[in-house]
Amino acid sequence: MNNLKLKVCGMRDPENISGLLDLRPDFIGFIFYPKSPRYVDEMDGDFVMRIPLSIHKVGVFVNESLENIVTLADKYGLEYIQLHGDEDLDFAKAIREKGLKVIKVFRVMDTIPFVAKQYEGIADYFLFDTQSMNYGGSGRHFDWNILRTYNINVPFLLSGGVQLEDIDQIKEMNIEKLVGVDVNSRFEVEPALKDIEKLKLLKEAL
């Protein structure tokens, strides 16, 4: 199995971001959802624009308007739009028509939603997170065994309480389309402030 990609979500603090950039993650996520404790109300656009192009910038949105998404994508140079709410297939298509890439989130527990198949050719990645009452991460695992029968032609990232101790198990599943992990709360000192040393160990394990 190739090395897994690393997506670190919920970043906000410039100094913390700079420390993360030294680790060269594959994706860095900014949450533009006002109800999240990691909400990015305002960032230094010039600083964010200087993030190396090799580190893909992801804007995380929950039921946001297309107009606002495009405005923020332009302001911060976002490459990927992560749809973490109830956005439908037509909305994902509209995002692509704006020249942006799509990460579609599905919150799962014991089965992969049937509707996911419709996103082939539209979503660049899926992100599978644990079903919860609220939008956003729960910090808990779902039953990863359901991924063994995954047969959709869209690569996916695994989320939902992923921690350092899980990496061996994730690799042992040896699922072709499982290309990376998305981490957030399990690697935080406090909301929106990551433990860089802990992330360094994770990056090495991947």
- Which positions ≥6 away from 10 have C-beta within 8 Å? 29, 31, 36, 38, 184, 185, 188, 191, 192, 194
Can you tell me the distance from the alpha carbon of 138 to that of 122, in angstroms, rounded to the nearest whole number? 26
Query: Could you tell me which CATH class the domain 5-205 is placed in?
Result: alpha beta
Q: Please, what is the average pLDDT of the chain? A: 94
| pLDDT attached to residue 139 | 62
Secondary structure of residue 125 in the 3-state scheme: strand
pLDDT digits (tens, 9 = 90+) for 182-202: 999 999 999 999 999 999 999
What residue spans define the domains of the chain?
Answer: 5-205
pLDDT digits (tens, 9 = 90+) for 167-178: 999 999 999 999
